[in-house]
């Protein structure tokens, strides 16, 4: 990815996370990307392309932040994953999953649905691998999704509940 595209994607991600997918005007998106309108449209020719670029950026950042350099022990990895998801919610988005919000804003978009499915599948695979769970097991995915979706209502109480629900998954 070029430096310009990275700059655009990062700015678009911030703009959509702050203002949703319908609210930001093209001028707001251009300003957030820090490029001219011509450059914005050169790299992302439509609003749909802008949303996809923003979400691809978010996908990469989320995976790195939650799953890079996890402890090797399953119980420590589980605690780290849940803590990092909570930290993400606390610092990046306190109102739920941006991927789900994008699909809700444009439910007819196959590209958005594919990106949502890919993101969630990669989160599940990495979480299960880190915690020593079978790849097809959905339980930890449900706990992580529950934490993400419940965070806006319960914040740290959602983290505490997630820990209580997830601990038996790795201890048998």
Q: Check pLDDT > 80 for residue 1.
A: no
Is the CB of residue 25 less than 8 Å from the CB of residue 2?
Answer: no
Q: What is the pLDDT of residues 113-156, one digit of tens each?
A: 999 999 999 999 999 999 999 999 999 999 999 999 999 999 99
Q: What is the pLDDT of residues 57-95, one digit of tens each?
A: 999 999 999 999 999 999 999 999 999 999 999 998 767
For 106: left if phi > 0, alpha if psi spans -120 to 50, otherwise beta; the answer is: beta
Show the tokens assigned to 135: 């790849």
Give the pLDDT confidence score for residue 172 in this predicted structure. 64
Sequential DSSP letters for 44-110: --SHHHHHHHHHHHHHHHHHHHHHTT--SSHHHHHHHHHHHHHHHHHHT-SSS-HHHHHHHH-TT-H
Show the tokens assigned to 65: 């932040």
Give the pLDDT confidence score for residue 120 in this predicted structure. 96
Q: Can you give the three-state secondary structure of 98-133, one letter per residue? A: HHHHHHHHCCCCHHHHHHHHHHHHHHHHHHHHHHCC
In order of their start, the domains of the chain are 1-68 (1.10.10.60), 71-172 (no CATH)
Report the predicted TM-score, pTM, of the whole model to 2 decimal places.
Answer: 0.93
């Amino acid at each position: 990815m070029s430096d310009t595209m990275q700059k655009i994607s990062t700015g678009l991600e911030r703009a959509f996370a702050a203002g949703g997918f319908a609210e930001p005007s093209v001028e707001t998106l251009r300003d957030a990307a820090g490029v001219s309108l011509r450059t914005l449209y050169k790299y992302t020719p439509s609003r749909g392309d802008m949303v996809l670029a923003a979400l691809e950026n978010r996908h990469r950042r989320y995976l790195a932040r939650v799953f890079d350099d996890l402890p090797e022990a399953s119980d420590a990895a589980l605690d780290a994953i849940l803590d990092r998801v909570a930290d993400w919610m606390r610092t990046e988005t306190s109102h739920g999953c941006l991927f789900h919000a994008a699909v809700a804003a444009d439910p007819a978009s196959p590209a958005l649905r594919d990106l949502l499915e890919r993101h969630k599948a990669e989160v599940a695979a990495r979480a299960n691998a880190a915690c020593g769970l079978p790849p097809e097991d959905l339980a930890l995915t449900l706990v992580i999704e529950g934490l993400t979706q419940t965070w806006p209502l319960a914040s740290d109480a959602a983290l505490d509940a997630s820990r209580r629900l997830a601990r038996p998954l790795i201890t048998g």
